[in-house]
Chain A
Amino acid sequence: MRVLVIDPDTARAALVAQGLEGVQPLEVRRSAVYDEAEVLAFAPDVVVIAAESPDRDTLDSLRDSSAGHPVVMFVDRSEPGLAEQAVRAGVAAYVVDGLAPGRVRSILDVAMSRFALTQQLRGDLAKAKADLESRKTVERAKGLLMKERGLDEDGAYRLLRKLAMDRGKPIGAVAADLLAFAGVLKGDGQ
């Protein structure tokens, strides 16, 4: 397990390392500020950051991208309620300072599995969107073939499927090509 602790102070990194004792293999690295090159090279499984660090915005901006990481935040004990309420609201994974080392492992595990779940949902959503787009494209290509070649719906679909098999391409891609070429012939893109 690779853990990156972004914190000018060394105490939290020590606490994290202590809490993860026994995890094999384990590498806990500490950095005072977010350094993109370092993060890319280290490829951490989870990032732990002080909630008062300005680098939070950089990490937060990666939240919705494939370059994101599960992030756990340490918040000062003088912030009553933030950790509990933020976690309940699903905003972010906050933990309160002064945490017992014995709980570190479970908190990081929860953050990682929650992150994996969100990434999977995001992937599913992207795939569903792409499927829908592809279906729409196929419908439009079918319409074009019906009009231009005088085919019925079934015939148009069979022709598209044959083109796809002949070229070894997905039917959505063939439909998109067809529409693009039809557009060029009509004079689009000039």
Chain B
Amino acid sequence: MSGLSDLRLGYIPLTDCAPLVAAQALGFFEEEGLNVTLEREASWATIRDKVAAGVLDGAHMLAPMALAATAAGEGEILAPLALNQNGSAVTVSKTLSEAIFAVDPQALSQTPVTAAALAKVVAARRENGQGPLTFAVVFPYSMHNYMLRYWLAQGGVDPDHDVRLVVIPPPRMVERMRAGEVDGFCVGAPWNAVAEAEDVGRVLVAASQFWPGGPDKVLGVTADLASHRPDELRACLRAVMRGAAWADEPENRETLIELLARPDRVGAAPTAIARALNGEIVFHRDAAGLPRREHGLWFLSQMTRWGQVDAALDLQALVDRVYRPDLYRDAALSLGPILEPALAFADAAGPAQARLFDGRAFDPQAVRAYAAGFAISRALV
């Protein structure tokens, strides 16, 4: 007997699983009294099912997935910690980027690139009787889906009518693009960098340009862990926060890249992994780990906008149930002496209102009005 408590955590091979991988490799879990088994999973659906059924105690998870699974009654999943800010990007195939350049040579030098020129390509294809372009995301309930849809719609491309949207697992994105089956995708790191490095695609918009400091993955845990084993959850959160703080430090970058590049972790080229770690993904600083309820409400605004949630759903109640900044704060305060000053987080540190690349302000008090206020929206009002 080790005297340590056993915990099973799942992850998907993506750069933003770094806080978990670092906490494991550096012995932070053990120092916090936990014997953690890190299990690499092949799909988000399996992550959801295993956490919902309590087969995993927690996992690296798409933030909207915790909301969707809980709303659907598939399980009660809490988000007591955000794993990262930024990291995703919209990438298009070389052929499509050339077509965009052909209709508007200035389009690709904007910051950020908008979908306005893509809308012209889409219109021209329709006139020529060509089929719709195919775009891929990793899961219906994901930042990637909402980021791609938001970006397309802002440029006048209706994601439901003007293009075909499909779901493809992250590690298969690049090969599908190379095969010409996918014209564009929104996926997490490192796969956008891999597409560019292999000369298959071109990155148009990074998440940090789409929404500076915007949310991405969370650590999703079973409600059972929080209610029956609160000390273990706190220990787990502390270890992952320490992993996240460690992963942010530039002097640890090389070691982190080595850890992630291993075939049993992310299994991608170190140079591709390095790219999103350089000035894009934030794990811990600027209170990146705080699971902000306004982020949850923004996800629900997009779920409302695209017709994914029932009009009768109490959005605020769902977010309050799933997003648990109180658990984060509790664990973070107990860590204070170890992490100071990196832990100088404040709830008010972020801007009061999220502002995306198009300058439209999000009011967390008026989620449905925001969702219905877009020119392209499926929200029923």
Q: Which residues of A are interface residues toward B (Cβ below 8 A)? A: 36, 51-61, 64, 79-82, 85-86, 88-92, 94, 133
Asked if B168 is at the interface (CB within 8 A of a chain A CB), the reply is: yes
Bound complex: CA A64 to CA B71 (Å): 15
Q: Which residues of B are interface residues toward A (Cβ below 8 A)? A: 42-46, 48-50, 52-55, 73-75, 138-140, 166-169, 171-172, 380
B166 cross-chain contacts in A, Cβ below 8 A: 36, 58, 61
A79 near B42 (CB under 8 angstroms)? no
B139 near A82 (CB under 8 angstroms)? no
A59 cross-chain contacts in B, Cβ below 8 A: 45
A57 near B52 (CB under 8 angstroms)? no
From known contacts A58-B167, A58-B169, infer whether A86 and B49 are also in contact, taking CB-CB under 8 Å.
Answer: yes
Bound complex: CA A81 to CA B50 (Å): 10
Bound complex: CA A82 to CA B47 (Å): 11
- Cβ 8 A contact of A54, one of B43, B54, B73, B74: B43
- The 8 lowest CB-CB distance pairs between A and B, nearest first, are A54-B169, A85-B53, A61-B167, A60-B45, A56-B43, A54-B42, A57-B43, A82-B55
A92 cross-chain contacts in B, Cβ below 8 A: 45, 49
A55 near B169 (CB under 8 angstroms)? yes
A89 near B167 (CB under 8 angstroms)? no
From known contacts A54-B171, A58-B168, infer whether A82 and B50 are also in contact, taking CB-CB under 8 Å.
Answer: yes
- Cβ 8 A contact of A57, one of B75, B169, B380: B169
B49 cross-chain contacts in A, Cβ below 8 A: 82, 86, 91-92, 94
Bound complex: CA A89 to CA B52 (Å): 8
A52 cross-chain contacts in B, Cβ below 8 A: 42, 46
B74 near A56 (CB under 8 angstroms)? no
A86 cross-chain contacts in B, Cβ below 8 A: 49-50, 52-53, 55
Bound complex: CA A54 to CA B169 (Å): 6
B53 near A82 (CB under 8 angstroms)? yes
Bound complex: CA A72 to CA B349 (Å): 46
B55 near A85 (CB under 8 angstroms)? yes
The chain A residue with its CB closest to the CB of B40 is A52
A91 near B53 (CB under 8 angstroms)? yes
The chain A residue with its CB closest to the CB of B145 is A61
A56 near B46 (CB under 8 angstroms)? yes
Instruction: Give 29 CB contacts A-B under 8 Å.
Output: A36-B166, A53-B42, A54-B42, A54-B169, A54-B171, A57-B44, A57-B45, A57-B167, A57-B168, A57-B169, A58-B166, A58-B169, A59-B45, A60-B43, A60-B45, A60-B167, A64-B140, A82-B55, A85-B53, A85-B55, A86-B50, A88-B53, A89-B52, A89-B53, A91-B52, A91-B53, A91-B74, A91-B75, A92-B49
Bound complex: CA A79 to CA B55 (Å): 8
Bound complex: CA A51 to CA B42 (Å): 8
Interface centre among A51, A53, A59, by most chain B C-beta atoms within 10 angstroms, is A51
B172 cross-chain contacts in A, Cβ below 8 A: 54
The chain B residue with its CB closest to the CB of A84 is B53
B126 to chain A, nearest CB (A): 22
Bound complex: CA A64 to CA B303 (Å): 14
B50 cross-chain contacts in A, Cβ below 8 A: 82, 86
B140 near A81 (CB under 8 angstroms)? no
B182 to chain A, nearest CB (A): 11
B138 near A81 (CB under 8 angstroms)? no
From known contacts A58-B168, A79-B55, A82-B53, infer whether A89 and B43 are also in contact, taking CB-CB under 8 Å.
Answer: no
B42 cross-chain contacts in A, Cβ below 8 A: 52-54, 56
B167 near A91 (CB under 8 angstroms)? no
The chain B residue with its CB closest to the CB of A64 is B140
B73 cross-chain contacts in A, Cβ below 8 A: 90
Bound complex: CA A130 to CA B187 (Å): 35
A45 to chain B, nearest CB (A): 21
The chain A residue with its CB closest to the CB of B134 is A36
A56 cross-chain contacts in B, Cβ below 8 A: 42-43, 45-46
B140 cross-chain contacts in A, Cβ below 8 A: 61, 64
The chain A residue with its CB closest to the CB of B56 is A82
Bound complex: CA A61 to CA B136 (Å): 12
A89 cross-chain contacts in B, Cβ below 8 A: 52-53, 74-75
The chain A residue with its CB closest to the CB of B43 is A56
The chain B residue with its CB closest to the CB of A125 is B310
B52 cross-chain contacts in A, Cβ below 8 A: 86, 89, 91
B168 cross-chain contacts in A, Cβ below 8 A: 57-58
A60 cross-chain contacts in B, Cβ below 8 A: 43-45, 139, 167
A90 cross-chain contacts in B, Cβ below 8 A: 73-74
B294 to chain A, nearest CB (A): 27
The chain B residue with its CB closest to the CB of A65 is B140
B55 cross-chain contacts in A, Cβ below 8 A: 79-82, 85-86
A23 to chain B, nearest CB (A): 28
